Chains A and B, each alone.
Chain A
């Protein structure tokens, strides 16, 4: 059974700092997704990572995938308050279903 673990589950950080959110998963997969959710809102797709070594960047966020280590990272560079949200990683099971992590609540202090 595929399990997806994110850490940390809660992160409070200062503006301008860098930090990384980790997503580990338990069985082989080469498709991983990152989503953002603002309070009271739905999920917004951030990144789709489809192969080992994939790296995607959008603004201050960069995501990478290491399928051999079963690990994805979401790196935040020089955080700004607008990035405060909950970030979910989700891993494809191979049958068109994806399993979500519990989410990382990111709070960036101005």
Chain B
């Protein structure tokens, strides 16, 4: 079946511009996560959606970052007034949650590489 998809795969923008990154999770997955990975680093949690519950935004680094998930499916991560330090790969993952048979296993999309000039 189809995995997690993300678009665009690459985005180059100028400092101060806004960007939107999109994530299509695996159909039926109730949990959706956004992470950021800087070059050669581990994963930094950004935000988590689970079903209809309020999202966990505890990982968002500043109020320039926001995300929404429409209809419990597609999610968009928006970064306003981008800064050079926002340059990273943004990864989306989805899962069935802890209640799922896979025990909360997360499946990752290919990522969006964001470069802020």
Chain A residues proximal to chain B, CB less than 8 Å: 31, 33, 35, 41-45, 48, 50, 88, 90, 92, 96-103
Interface residues of B in 8-52 (CB under 8 A from A): 31, 33, 41-43, 45, 48, 50
B22 to chain A, nearest CB (A): 15
Contact of B41 (CB < 8 Å), options: A48, A97, A99, A102: A102
Asked if B103 is an interface residue, CB under 8 A from chain A, the answer is yes
Q: Which residues of B contact A (CB under 8 A)?
A: 31, 33, 41-43, 45, 48, 50, 56, 91, 93, 95, 97-98, 102-111
A97→B48 contact, CB < 8 A: yes
Interface of B is mostly: loop
A102 to chain B: which residues have CB within 8 Å? 41-42
B106 CB, nearest partner CB in chain A, Å: 7
Q: Tell me the smallest distance from the CB of B8 to a CB of chain A, in Å.
A: 15
